A = this chain, B = another copy of it.
Amino acid sequence: MIEKDRDFLEAYLQDRKKLVEEALRSYLMPPEDNLAEIYKAVHYSVFAGGKRIRPILCLAAVDAVGGNLAPAMPVACALEMIHTYSLIHDDLPAMDNDDLRRGKPTSHKVFGEGMAILAGDALLTEAFVLLSRSGKVRLPAERRLNVIQEIAYAAGIFGMVGGQALDILSEQVPPDENILSDIHRRKTGALIAASLKAGAVISDATKNKTAALFKYGNNIGMAFQIADDILNVTGDRELMGKDTGSDAKRGKITYPSVLGMEQAKEKLKYHVNEAIASISGFDERARPLRIVARYIEERKE
């Protein structure tokens, strides 16, 4: 990535992350006194230092079609809340049994398993409260319903939940590239693709542009997961905030373990190029999406 792009991207990501985190804080309002504990658990995981990739991509899709950011903010935050719920539940002892996430003890380590399950349930449910309420910014009800449907579908059995179920069961079957990409298409790809599509739907983009952004999202989602798998082997423990090599220790199937490192890197490059190609018809306002794609190819954390 050239230096000019890197500077632009750093400033862009920082600015958007700040916007998203301010909005998250305003939506996750301090509760009544007796709900302090569950609220603490929710807050702990939401503000544990995520990169906010899904909300940033949603907002970047709005930018790419010349839309208005304000009505997209609750949607962007709901995406992050759903993502955070999935991390809390995936880390549980009955799932991946992870003690560390982003360098901090995982939710069940701090609050106990029962409270961690509930913190996840709370975030998933409150995401739909946020998506369905009108708030300050009016958005036509039809469009809001479309967004809810896209996101719920991507988070449900045919997306994230199904992907995690396949992931659990995959430990019992021989590694296979088809199974692996099916898991990740559901587990990571679906919600990322929905983030882009939601940005397009909110902004009332044309059918063609919406489809192009969805395709970008599917490819960027796969790229993101492959990069994650590669970093789990080659990454720096300090930068990552979690143990590297943990996938291998656990016998988890990953792109490097199924395809070998060289082919995994090829596949990463392929999806990044496909993503960028799918938005070739967009003007300069899609610059962040193009640079983010390159960044995923080169990411170190």
Residues of A within 8 A of B (CB): 31-32, 34-35, 37-39, 42, 89, 92-95, 112-118, 120-122, 124-126, 128-129, 131-134, 140-142, 144-145, 148-149, 152-153, 155-158, 160-162, 164-166, 168-169, 182
Please determine whether A165 and B38 come into contact, CB atoms closer than 8 angstroms. yes
What residues of B have a CB within 8 angstroms of the CB of A169 in the complex?
A: 37
Main secondary structure of the interface of A (DSSP, over half): helix
What residues of B have a CB within 8 angstroms of the CB of A133 in the complex?
A: 149
Q: How far is the CA of A165 from the CA of B36 in the complex (A)?
A: 10
- Complex A-B, nearest 5 residue pairs according to Cβ-Cβ distance, in ascending order: A94-B113, A141-B141, A38-B165, A125-B156, A128-B152
What residues of B have a CB within 8 angstroms of the CB of A166 in the complex?
A: 34-35
What residues of B have a CB within 8 angstroms of the CB of A116 in the complex?
A: 94
What residues of B have a CB within 8 angstroms of the CB of A153 in the complex?
A: 129
Please determine whether A89 and B115 come into contact, CB atoms closer than 8 angstroms. no
Please determine whether A157 and B117 come into contact, CB atoms closer than 8 angstroms. no
Please determine whether A128 and B148 come into contact, CB atoms closer than 8 angstroms. yes
What residues of B have a CB within 8 angstroms of the CB of A161 in the complex?
A: 38, 118, 121-122, 125
Q: How far is the CA of A142 from the CA of B35 in the complex (A)?
A: 30
Please determine whether B152 and A118 come into contact, CB atoms closer than 8 angstroms. no
Nearest B residue to A156 via CB reads B125
B93, B129, B157: which contacts A152 (Cβ < 8 A)? B129
- Which of A117, A133, A140: most chain B CB closer than 10 A? A117
List 6 other contacts, CB 8 Å, given A92-B117, A115-B168: A94-B112, A118-B165, A118-B168, A125-B160, A126-B156, A129-B149
Please determine whether B126 and A157 come into contact, CB atoms closer than 8 angstroms. yes
Q: How far is the CA of A112 from the CA of B168 in the complex (A)?
A: 11
Known pairs A95-B117, A142-B141; A132 contacts B152 (CB<8 A): yes
Q: How far is the CA of A168 from the CA of B113 in the complex (A)?
A: 11
Please determine whether B157 and A31 come into contact, CB atoms closer than 8 angstroms. yes
Nearest B residue to A92 via CB reads B117
What residues of B have a CB within 8 angstroms of the CB of A142 in the complex?
A: 141
What residues of B have a CB within 8 angstroms of the CB of A112 in the complex?
A: 94
